[in-house]
Amino acid sequence: MEVLRLDRLSKHFGAIPVADSISLSVAEGDALGIIGPNGAGKTSLFNLIGGALRPDSGRIYFLGRDVTGLSMEQRCRTGIGRTYQIPKPFTRMTVMENCLVSAVAGGRSTERQAYDHCAEVLRQTHLLGKANQMAASLTLLERKALEVARALSSSPRLLLLDEIAGGLTENETEELVQLIRNIHAGGTTVVWIEHIVNALMAVANRLIVINFGAKILDGPPHDVMDNPEVKRIYMGMEAA
């Protein structure tokens, strides 16, 4: 089943393209990684998918429905969840309250259902023991985990992860990778932007490379990383 489809999606800021006629399809159960140099348009693509930006042209389809004209809130309720590069918790609320806000925004029908669901999400993200702590008291890794937990609390069919491993130590990154691997194994479709390629390669079954807003390659992770053009653009390496 196709979860997400972008059809010739384009967005420019003046003369600068952040999405240049991008078409792609994400199937249910995929773990898609997106790489590219700084300024390539990766986060802008997430903003287009999530509704923070409106495209100049092209369409966005989610679960077969054209969602191009929907707001961020409406897209969240249809099943698109996302995280941000810099965690943005409600610092004056507890960890549980942060997740409850997301669950309610995601359309959970009753308070009891929302609470039970958030408790399970916090268990999954290893934050249940901190449910009643203020979000401001969390470490960076815990804030990253809360960012994932808040996204999961809205019950997404598609989870967009935007450089969630940035700023973490190697051991912390390994913990986060295992968390994301478990989320994906549980049936959530994942699209992940990440500069830490080893982390991405541990989860993704497919990679897309973006440069100057254009998709230049799409394929199995090792094939993509071995491509001479990718080495040149992404890693500054010239083919021998």
Query: Exposed, middle or buried by CB within 10 Å (0-12, 13-18, 19+), for 174?
Result: middle
Q: What is the pLDDT of residues 117-135, one digit of tens each?
A: 999 999 999 999 999 999 9
235 pLDDT higher than 80: no
**pLDDT band of 231, cuts 50, 70, 90:** confident
Residue 237 binned pLDDT confidence (cut-offs 50, 70, 90)? very low
pLDDT of 238 strictly over 80: no
Q: Which amino acid is at 97?
A: E
Range among 65-69, 86-90, 230-234 with highest mean pLDDT value: 65-69
Query: Helices (DSSP H) in the chain: which residue ranges?
Result: 42-50, 72-78, 95-105, 111-124, 140-153, 170-185, 197-201, 221-225, 228-235
pLDDT band at 33 (very low <50, low <70, confident <90, very high): very high
Choosing from 134, 154, 174, the residue where a domain stops is: 154
Q: How many CB atoms lie within 10 A of CB 237?
A: 11
Instruction: Give yes or no for residue 61 having a pLDDT over 70.
Output: yes
Same domain for 25 and 110: no
Task: Convert 144-155 to b/e letters by CB count within 10 Å (16 or more is b).
Answer: bbbbbbbbbbbb
What is the distance in angstroms between the CA of the first residue and the CA of the last residue of the chain?
41
Q: 30 with 135, same domain? A: no
Identify the pLDDT of residue 106: 83
Instruction: State mean pLDDT over 22-50.
Output: 95
Whether residue 112 lies inside any domain: the answer is yes
Over the range 5-19, which residues count as b (16 or more CB within 10 Å of their CB) and which as e? bbbebbbeeeeebbb
| Residue 162 shares a structural domain with residue 74 | yes
DSSP string, 153-188: HT--SEEEEESTTTT--HHHHHHHHHHHHHHHHTT-
Asked if residue 138 is part of any domain, the answer here is yes
Residues 159, 202: Cα–Cα separation, whole Å:
17
Q: How far, in Å, CA of 134 to CA of 94, rounded?
A: 4
pTM of the model: 0.93
Q: Which of 131, 154, 177 is the last residue of a domain?
A: 154
11 and 73, same structural domain?
yes
The reply to whether 184 and 220 lie within a common domain is yes
Given pLDDT bands bounded at 50, 70 and 90, which one contains residue 234? low
Calpha distance 237→108 (Å, rounded): 49
181 and 143 in one domain?
no
Q: Is residue 198 part of a domain?
A: yes
Distances in whole angstroms, Cα of residue 74 to Cα of each of 28, 81, 133, 147, 226: 20, 11, 30, 20, 39
Domain at 192, CATH number: 3.40.50.300
Would you say residue 240 lies in a domain?
Answer: no
For residue 108, what are the domain limits?
90-154
Overall average pLDDT of the 39-60 stretch: 95
Bridge partners (DSSP) of residue 32 are: 191, 206
- pLDDT in the model for residue 236: 60
Give the DSSP letter of residue 41. Answer: S
Percentage of residues of the chain with pLDDT beyond 70 = 96
Average pLDDT over residues 64-83: 96
Percent of the chain with pLDDT over 90: 86
CA 50 to CA 58: how far, in whole Å?
15
pLDDT in tens, 159-197: 999 999 999 999 999 999 999 999 999 999 999 999 899
Assess if residue 85 is contained within a domain: no
Q: Are residues 102 and 220 in the same domain?
A: no
* Residue 60 backbone dihedrals phi, psi, to 5 degrees: -120, 125
Q: Tokens at residue 208, please?
A: 């897309």
24 shares its domain with 74: yes
Mean confidence (pLDDT) of the chain? 93
- The three-class DSSP label of residue 208 is strand
The count of structural domains within the chain is 2
User: Domain check: are 162 and 66 in the same one?
Assistant: yes
Looking at the predicted structure, is the pLDDT value of residue 215 above 80? Answer: yes
